[in-house]
Amino acid sequence: MKFFVDTADTEAIRELADGGLVDGVTTNPSLVARTGRDFFEVIREICTITSGPVSAEVAATDAETMLAEGRRLAEIASNIAVKVPLTMDGLKACRSLADDGIMVNVTLCFSPSQAILAAKAGAAFVSPFVGRLDDISTDGMTLIEDIVQIYDNYDAFRTEVLVASIRHPRHIVDAAKIGADVCTVPPDVLRKIARHPLTDKGLEAFIADWAKTGQSIL
């Protein structure tokens, strides 16, 4: 499974990338706005930190303007994945951008039927939002399971399932068991994966025992 970090915080991306945990980055207008920086400056910097896909979202809602914005975003760097909403206009823009050889991430997917349309439109990624479904008492992981099963039925579907709206480590484990291609994860959730109380307890014991020997490795 690939990990995309879901943030526009370049320092957090660098920290996680240094640990080999970043295969790509996803952003959205809200995440970029929180930085208080110029949109293009932030996206350009992120593209220098990782060679993996960097999702940058269009602001328009009509197909023609989405297409124009998507082409401009794609000029930032070769690893840009243009992010468009899962609407009829978004799918139309996706098809045109994909035909131009541009990666497209179709976002805000909430049903298997929508995911089929994204694949038909040539999306490189489809982003089903599990956390938002959980918020309305619907099992988000059932959606992931359905999409993975459908995509596996058709060799012509090359779209990767990018699990979005991750809220906790269990979402990641469940998505991996199902066979999703990517999880896009906020930095704090990604850090939580490494932590376990028994790991901390064991490390304390090892350090204490080593200190008793009075030795040094260096």
Give the whole-angstrom CA distance, residue 42 versus residue 135: 30
**Range list of β-strands (E), 69-180:** 80-85, 103-109, 125-128, 160-163
Q: Which residues are catalytic?
A: 83
Spatial CB neighbours of 22, under 8 Å, sequence gap ≥ 6: 3, 4, 5, 13, 16, 49, 50, 52
**Range list of β-strands (E), 78-213:** 80-85, 103-109, 125-128, 160-163, 182-185
